[in-house]
Structure 1
Amino acid sequence: MGSQTYCVRLMTYLPGKTLAESPGTMQDLYHVGRLIAFMDKTLQKLESPNLDVLHNNCDEEWSSSNINLKERCLLVMDGDPLQEVIKAVIEQFKSHVQPKISSFQKGIIHGDTNATNIIVTPVGNGRHEVSGMLDFSSLMNDCYVFELAITIAYTMLENPSPLDVGGAILTGWESIMVLNEDERESLYLLVLVGLCQSLVYGRYDLKKYPDNKNYLLVTAKNGTRILTKLWEMGKKEVERKWFTDASTKNAF
């Protein structure tokens, strides 16, 4: 037999547990926000003749800007009372966020900063060091505030005090990259969009992969309750909570 060529990928082992397994303190979440913003800022320096292979945010399923795909998949929610909330979130996104996207800061983002991709290690007194990130397969050119919103949305799913999550992560993020006015104004709806897309896509994919029910419906376990709560509280009240917490930097 002739010689054969193989592709081998070497990885560094990261000790610790995922953030989903160790929700940690608000100070830990501050460091989550800081690490992810630092990661995205570092990716600005990435140079390669092949960067055009990265997903285009207009076509990427999980990009917050791909609202048309979310609408097409929404039929799987037919009969669920949550469908009307998701429809309303999509309409508000179209009216209040889409016109602002051109002003959002953009670059290469991780694209999947959920709690199972964030590694932490205990350092004592219930606190953790945020020690690394996993799974860079979803890298894409997109808006940095989308990354922040997804991080908040997914971390809320795994935290016993979900309403406290936003301010802690936002404070850490803005210690590295400060949001502009349009991004701050859009953050609430973008977090809701992140929850909506995970709920909708989970239900949609379940029809294709019924044997993978536990994984595909993981967001539904807490996501329905959190989305409903945020929607009922409304934009002003949620923002007041997040931005007040973020302004009290000494708390983290």
Structure 2
Amino acid sequence: MSGHSKWHNIQAKKGKTDAKRGKIFTKLGKEIVVSVKNGGASPEINARLRDTIAKAKAANMPNDTIIKAIKKAAGDADSINYETIIYEGYGPSGVAVIVETLTDNKNRTAANVRHAFSKADGNLGALGCVSFMFQEKGQIIIEKSDHDEDEMMMMALDAGAEDLESEGEVFIITTTPENFGTVREALEAEGIEFLEAQVKMVPDTLSNIEGDDAKKLEKMLDMLEDDDDIQEVYHNAEFPEGWDE
């Protein structure tokens, strides 16, 4: 996945994550509920729950909060049933956007997603209209700090990773979705802490965006990420150097 810089996008995303931590914890709690309902409350036998817990820890969700969410999901058989729905479309400047939702009201969610695209002069398309520009990959982001790049590279590759890139102040480790859990657990066993750890849609190439279109896309992403039904928003935009999302 090398050949283009991701560091500015990572910086912007981390800033937003820090500012909206409470909302992110709510969304992670929803993911935990779905993981427990689908595979049980034991991380040892529920790989999806293990991955969700890792994602929550990378977002600095407290262990007590994670444990409470698991127990609540396991003990509440009548809790809300969420449905996963994916939306795809184009934002300003033809930026490709994928929106992943967990919802108990499809009509509400569809209307909200459509409104966000429309406000930014974007448009929703059919399922598959932009996903061919992305690959599903495990991605683990680690702050460089005192880590040696060669040692980190060998550790990641030995565990089954596909690649390690050095970008700005972080290392980005890429895995197949199937090997993500194995690589993550191997790094955890070495005491490595993550800024991000999840299976996600990674764009093959990034598309430059600037000026008014960058502002429109920024507002669109904010609208989508503020929606409680929306779990993840993936895009292939690269904002200008120094852009403050």
Fold match by TM threshold 0.5: no
Given the two structures, how large is their TM-score scaled by the length of structure 2? 0.26
| Greater percentage in strand | 2
| Greater percentage in helix | 1
Given the two structures, how large is their TM-score scaled by the length of structure 1? 0.25
